[in-house]
Chains A and B, each alone.
Chain A
């Protein structure tokens, strides 16, 4: 086995459902130590891709390697050091939190029983460990799901919308926990979240998917430093503004928003735009938009909708 620092390699994967291609030639890779954000509108194919990576859904073509092991031909090795919470975590509701973790510990005979107490401690559920899971809140189930994902000392952990159902304080705690585990335990995280602000805060890399296609992939800092600036033109005359700006070659993209039009333009042309608009249109304000991951996401996905 080669000594590569790539822990997850997804190459050219495709998947058809009823002859419709839902995942189209998706490729990306995740390096050890990354906190990787996986973004896309609802129905973009995020969960399908996670399930394909984890061997739950088979790909029609392409390869997936975890820790250099092929998920199809070397499944047992590939999955051995993986933790995952896919969608809302599910449990045997009539068993306690501890018993649910025991079921997973039993799948890794090399683990000592004390590991269950350790992961319960990490997620702060020690005092509720003996309660049946049907008495847990959604937030507690999310934490128990994380405990389950950590039980086998994973090298990579997949978290699908991990903050669903968690209160704001819990979200902050979870974010801190993820960063702490990434630093102290050297765990790589692969996270999907619809809260882009969270992803921006903790992830160093992201991939954006739309309609089963990968539309961007790279370091968060690179995506944010694009040579494009965004301006919101606040005006009642949206159609006129769109018509006026259409021929301009420094305009990259225009989207109607509630208060007017959001424009992405090449850096350095905002003054020119300002002058043009003021001469031809009644504009209330021009508001420069801070380049955030949210903006990048909306630009890439056309307002967060799938085609």
Chain B
């Protein structure tokens, strides 16, 4: 299994420019945050300590979902159509191991991006506002924000960043399933993007269903676990994401196991 994961990472790291383009996108969006904050009046202090947390939603909502869509489409539909999936299947490897390795590789790549974003945001924070004296969390229930100690604020920020990997990986599983349904990478990307937009729109319109949509947790899981337990309880969050994950993997495996490889 570890060699399969190594292969997937090798393909992504050396096989294209996608990873570098998304790193550039993260830098761009994080700088955009700096620009935005210079023109917006806020009631509390922004500094290096809380800038990373402020920017988390941007990265997990506007950058990484698209990376997940493109990478998983590459791993499934593109590999199937180009015939390179077949090359792996001609060796003593279980199809379930191939799927699991792709998922774990995606998880590792997201962790890498999350780490990159976290570090760049701290660097930008220090560069533009300095380290600061306290960590102020922008809680919507308190206009002036909540103050945490620096250590506690940093630990909660780090936790918030890394917990966000979970819903993004679950999204990867959904894209994986879609990837097996279509014979065109463009269609898989389109369908995944469409699903992402529609579910976000549904979540926006109907607050009651929001806790049951995995897309809600891209942004909310960090808050639920590390900052505020609102309507999304921790248990519900993990159960919902767990169900999406298990069902997504089971459906993907079933379709893959029965799939004839024609390319």
- A interface residues with partner B (beta carbon < 8 Å): 51, 54-58, 75-77, 79-80, 82, 84, 86-88, 90-92, 94-95, 99, 102-104, 106-109, 148, 152
Contacts and interface: CB of A to CB of B under 8 A. Distances in A.
A75 B98 CA distance: 15
A177 B176 CA distance: 41
Given A76-B94, A92-B11, A94-B16, A109 B3 contact: yes
A103 B83 CA distance: 14
Contacts, number: 73
Contact of B86 (A90, A108, A152): A90
A57 B259 CA distance: 8
A229 to B, nearest CB: 42
A104 B86 CA distance: 12
A152 B89 contact: no
A51 B261 contact: yes
B260 interface: yes
Contacts of B91: 79, 104, 107-108, 152
A104 B260 contact: no
B256 to A, nearest CB: 12
Contact of A86 (B4, B6, B15, B86): B86
Contacts of B89: 55-56
Interface string B77-98: 0000011101111111110000
Contacts of A87: 83
Nearest to B16: A94
A113 to B, nearest CB: 12
A107 B10 contact: no
B3 A95 contact: no
Q: Is the interface of A mostly helix, strand, loop or mixed?
A: loop
B261 A95 contact: no
| Contact-residue size bin, chain B (C-beta under 8 Å from the other chain) | 20 to 34
B262 interface: yes
A56 B92 contact: no
B115 interface: no
A57 B11 contact: no
Interface string B252-263: 000000101110
A106 B14 contact: no
Contacts of B92: 75-77, 79-80, 107-108
Contacts of B16: 94
A138 to B, nearest CB: 14
Contacts of A56: 86, 89-90, 260-261
Given A106-B4, A107-B92, A90 B10 contact: no
B14 A99 contact: yes
A90 B14 contact: no
B7 interface: yes
A106 B6 contact: yes
A106 B10 CA distance: 11
Interface centre among A54, A88, A90, A109 (most CB of B within 10 A): A90
Nearest to B5: A106
A95 B3 CA distance: 17
28 contacts: A51-B262, A55-B89, A56-B86, A57-B262, A79-B90, A79-B91, A80-B92, A84-B90, A86-B86, A90-B82, A92-B15, A94-B16, A95-B10, A95-B15, A99-B14, A103-B7, A103-B10, A103-B11, A104-B87, A104-B91, A106-B4, A106-B6, A106-B7, A107-B3, A107-B4, A107-B7, A107-B92, A108-B92
Given A92-B11, A103-B87, A107-B88, 18 more contacts: A55-B89, A56-B86, A56-B261, A58-B260, A77-B92, A84-B90, A90-B83, A91-B87, A94-B16, A95-B10, A95-B11, A99-B10, A99-B14, A102-B10, A106-B4, A107-B4, A109-B3, A152-B91
A158 to B, nearest CB: 9
Contacts of A76: 92-94
Interface in B37-96: 82-84, 86-94
Contacts of A152: 91
A87 B86 CA distance: 11
A57 B260 contact: yes
Nearest to B11: A92
